[in-house]
Amino acid sequence: MHDRGGGNSVPAVASRLRFADLLGGLSIVADLGFGLPPQEAMRTCLVSTALARRMGLDDDDVRDAFYVPLLMHVGCISMAHETAAALGDDLAVNRAVTLTDLGDPDDFGRTLIPELTRGMTAAERSRVTEYVLAYGIELGRRYDTASCEVARATARRIGLPESTQRALHEVTEFWRGGSAPQGLGGDQIAVAARVARVAADAVFFDDVGGAERAAAAVKRRAGGVLDPEIVDTFLADVDHLLAEAGGGTGDPRDRILEVEPEPVRECNAGDLARVAAAFGDLADLKSPYFHGHAATVARLAVAAGEQVGLGPASLHRLEVAALLHDVGRVGISNALWEKEGPLTRAEWEQVRMHAYHSERVLATAEALEPMAVIAGMHHERLDGSGYHRCSTTKDIGVEARLLAAADTFAALSQPRSYRAAFTPTDAAEVLSAEARAGRLDRDAVTAVLAEAAERRGRRPVDLRPAGLTDREIQVLGLMAQGCSNAVIGERLFVSRRTAEHHVQNVYTKIGVSSRAAATLFAVQHDLLPK
């Protein structure tokens, strides 16, 4: 299953599903990854759609204004590692940036730096302030470029139209021009991107301080970041438009199905794995330590499920649950995921919550609800020592047992901030010891280890996608591990200039300009180093 969609795991009878329900539920991944309240993307979608209709936009633009808010923050997950390394808690940084009028340089001093340094020691405040003044603009440009490219790639993977892809790629452009990723301005920017940007700022500041704060914020940003005509349309009926997001008209999850533009977009159960693969890969962009984890777990779990005799429906549930089992970790700061020393008890409790978050994200979409508990149980153990339920043998079904074994083996095979990757032999021994101790299911462990041994001898189906050379595939793998150009040169025994040349060739061939988007390409084509 090179593309990890469909295959033998698809049920024989596929029911029709509302795509908006599926995407609405998964949009909570973007909320968590950006540090926003759950359903913020759905609420922004409601305001954006109402605003587009108020402006009299054509059907295609209204459709794009509906979908763009649901995906506009998904790519932000891809810069969590760099953001945390430079400035600390990546989720706190996202909030500080959103509070700041990026079109007004003076607001960096008034808002951005005070928000970023809140609660820091004097030494840390000084370091962060110096970094923002020296490198903040460049970091912001790299952030916007990566997030927009990843959002566009995700829209492409899940089958949204080219116009939606374009709008997602342009959603961070400033009305006055000069911003990333392309430096567009004014009417060069897709109208759906401009509408969604106004709606997103309005909903965020409505959360912060109500309708009056929202109106003041978008008015202040008009002509700089935001399209002034769209802002005027919003301000002319601010209370009614924000009521769309406020819950007074119904639960946002139900409301997006009511306001979805016609014709209503549907998908079948066989499309779930394709969409789940896209969001699982997104979650893994959270840190270089996680790249490709969901894809590996899904392959191991499904193949193991076939070995133990699961039927098509069970295999389908297992595949989707495996692809999405770790989406909840995007809501935990990289300051914890990448901490080199031991976690405190309070930090460990935060990390343990990621399984719960994954379960609740899946439970929000009707199409994914059958997989929610399976995904949420990937850290449960048969003796009750796991989390988050502390379930025991009788409560853990076969799909969850297979997922736990596959997840454990895949995690051991990857490095973490506090340890190196286990060799295949050592990982297998740890897994077998867990089975002997009664924590993991013996049959599940046996099947996972058999598949892992067989998989090590396989090569990718497409050996040279996009015409990449063997050397460029090596470079792409190192880029995905977070290596700088200098480190790539050292690893390959070439000069930094040669490494830079290879990196640029990779970008050109796969049509991206950020390491995050290149990493996504590597994961999708199974090109990460084994």
Phi then psi dihedrals of residue 266, to 5 deg: -120, 160
Each residue's pLDDT expressed in tens, for the chain with a length of 530 residues? 233 333 333 443 346 889 999 999 999 999 999 999 999 999 999 999 999 999 999 999 999 999 999 999 999 999 999 999 999 999 999 999 999 999 999 999 999 999 999 999 999 999 999 999 999 999 999 999 999 999 999 999 999 999 999 999 999 999 999 999 999 999 999 999 999 999 999 999 999 999 999 999 999 999 999 999 999 999 999 999 999 887 666 899 999 999 999 999 999 888 999 999 999 999 999 999 999 999 999 999 999 999 999 999 999 999 999 999 999 999 999 999 999 999 999 999 999 999 999 999 999 999 999 999 999 999 999 999 999 999 999 999 999 999 999 999 999 999 999 999 999 999 999 999 999 999 999 999 999 999 999 887 666 666 789 999 999 999 999 999 889 999 999 999 999 999 999 999 999 999 999 999 999 999 999 888 87
Place of tokens 């999850």: 253
Asked, for residue 346, whether it belongs to a domain, the answer is: yes
Radius of gyration of the chain (CA): 23
Asked, for residue 421, whether it belongs to a domain, the answer is: yes
Residue 207: CB atoms within 10 A of its CB come to 16
Q: Which residues pair with 268 in a beta bridge?
A: 16
Residue-range definition of the domain harbouring residue 49: 21-266
Asked, for residue 1, whether it belongs to a domain, the answer is: no
Same domain, 473 and 342: no
Examine the fold and report which residue of 249, 266, 283 is the final residue of a domain before the chain moves on.
266
Same domain, 70 and 189: yes
Tell me, what amino acid is at 506? Answer: V
Same domain, 352 and 476: no
Tally of structural domains, the chain: 3
Same domain, 505 and 356: no
Residue 166: CB atoms within 10 A of its CB come to 18
Residue 444 sits in a domain of what CATH number?
A: 1.10.3210.10
Same domain, 199 and 233: yes
Same domain, 490 and 384: no
Phi then psi dihedrals of residue 273, to 5 deg: -65, -35
